């Protein structure tokens, strides 16, 4: 994903809103104040702080954005290779949650882990060698898929997350799993950190209690919907925004999208989703064009921008 003319997250949000709203005729619309909250969730997006963004709560218009919350950063050990080998993200999240003690957990994933390879990757992460920080929700899906034994390596993009969704859908249809979400934490700082270490602990406990992996996958999906809905509610309390756009490749996951839309509707949000353009890279390109056009309008009609400020 390219960071220009708008960085990945803001371009995805504008793709969702621009695909829904027909722009007015000239003169150009007033732009300036943030008018829409957005959830940008994908695998890899370049953030302006140099990290790999991928789960951001934003307040944005076509010319600017404010980052209100994001998934807490974790290392991406080995860079792009961690995308191809989801087991790396599972080990990373376990290490973030339990420290080195995760190697003592009585789990099939831990028992099958290549300790020597992981030791090297852990050292790379600690020293910041080819291990950029990431807030990617796609990588969290990869981590859970690997932890549950669904997929440790992939042969096509998004394979682990797709198979995890299929597993969760099977549990939903069969009525498996507990109704409550795993615990999570939304920080009070700005931007707020979305802490998923309690989710990882809950998944580990379920695995240790021999809960069916399909039921765990379904509970994980419901939990993510709850986490993102809570983050949007916190964003509304901060900004007053009642419109929220959902975009990014993760929202090709129909199960997550349906669950989140249902939660947001219950909270009184007006929800925008991609309908005319896709939520993945195709929509990103469209959003970048929308951002570029708005910035060009601002350059061509500076008096309009002054009146709107």
| 10 assigned to some structural domain | no
Paired sense of beta strands 243-247 and 192-195, if any: unpaired
| 4 assigned to some structural domain | no
Site of tokens 């009146």: 307
Residue 22 has pLDDT above 60, yes or no: no
Residue predicted with more confidence, 294 or 12: 294
Paired sense of beta strands 65-71 and 52-60, if any: antiparallel
CA distance 73 to 195: 9
Q: Give 254: exposed, middle or buried? Use CB within 10 Å, 0-12, 13-18, 19+.
A: exposed
| 29 assigned to some structural domain | no
| 259 assigned to some structural domain | no
Residues 88-120 have pLDDT tens digits of: 999 999 999 999 999 999 999 999 999 999 999
| 308 assigned to some structural domain | no
Residues 157-193 have pLDDT tens digits of: 999 999 999 999 999 999 987 788 999 999 999 999 9
Residues 227-245 have pLDDT tens digits of: 999 999 999 999 999 999 9
Residues 124-169 have pLDDT tens digits of: 999 999 999 999 999 999 999 999 999 999 999 999 999 999 999 9
CA distance 84 to 181: 29
**Residue 211 backbone phi and psi in degrees, to 5:** -70, 135
| 135 assigned to some structural domain | yes
Site of tokens 């998004």: 158
pTM above 0.75, yes or no: yes
Residue 8: pLDDT band (50, 70, 90) is low
Mark 97-124 as b/e (b = at least 16 C-beta within 10 Å).
bbeeebbeeebebbeebeeeebeebbeb
Residue 102, domain CATH: 1.10.357.160
Q: Would you state the pLDDT for residue 267?
A: 97
Q: Which domain holds residue 80?
A: 74-225
| 288 assigned to some structural domain | no
Q: How many domains does the chain have?
A: 1
Q: Would you state the pLDDT for residue 282?
A: 79
Q: Name the average pLDDT for the chain.
A: 88
Helix (H) or strand (E) holding 141: helix 137-147
Tokens of residue 302, six digits? 């500076």
CA distance 59 to 192: 13
| 93 assigned to some structural domain | yes
CA distance 112 to 153: 14
Residue 3 has pLDDT above 50, yes or no: no
- In the chain the beta strands, taken as DSSP E runs, fall at 36-46, 52-60, 65-71, 74-75, 133-134, 185-186, 192-195, 243-247, 270-273
The sign of the CA dihedral 237, 17, 245, 290 is negative
């Amino acid at each position: 994903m390219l960071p220009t003319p708008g960085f990945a997250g803001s371009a995805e949000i504008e793709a969702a809103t621009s695909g829904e709203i027909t722009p007015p005729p000239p003169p150009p619309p007033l732009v300036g104040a943030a008018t829409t909250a957005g959830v940008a969730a994908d695998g890899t997006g370049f953030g302006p702080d140099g990290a790999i963004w991928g789960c951001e709560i934003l307040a944005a218009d076509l010319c600017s954005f404010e980052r209100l919350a994001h998934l807490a950063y974790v290392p991406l050990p080995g860079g792009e290779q961690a995308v191809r080998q989801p087991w790396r993200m599972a080990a990373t999240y376990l290490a973030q949650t339990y420290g080195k003690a995760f190697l003592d957990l009585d789990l099939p994933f831990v028992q099958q882990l290549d300790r020597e390879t992981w030791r090297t990757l852990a050292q790379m992460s600690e020293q910041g060698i080819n291990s950029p920080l990431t807030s990617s929700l796609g990588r969290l899906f990869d981590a859970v898929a690997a932890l549950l034994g669904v997929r440790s390596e992939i042969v096509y993009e998004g394979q682990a997350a797709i198979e995890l969704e299929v597993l969760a859908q099977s549990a939903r249809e069969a009525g498996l799993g507990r109704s409550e979400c795993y615990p999570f934490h939304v920080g009070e700082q700005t931007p707020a950190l979305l802490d998923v270490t309690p989710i990882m602990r809950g998944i580990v406990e379920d695995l240790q209690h021999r809960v069916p992996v399909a039921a765990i996958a379904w509970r994980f999906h419901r939990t993510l919907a709850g986490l993102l809905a809570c983050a949007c509610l916190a964003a509304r309390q901060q900004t007053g925004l009642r419109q929220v756009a959902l975009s990014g490749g993760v929202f090709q996951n129909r199960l997550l999208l349906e669950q989140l839309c249902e939660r947001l509707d219950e909270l009184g949000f007006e929800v925008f989703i991609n309908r005319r353009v896709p939520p993945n890279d195709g929509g990103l390109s469209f959003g970048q064009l929308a951002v570029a056009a708005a910035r060009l309008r601002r350059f061509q009609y500076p008096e309009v921008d002054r009146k709107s400020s």
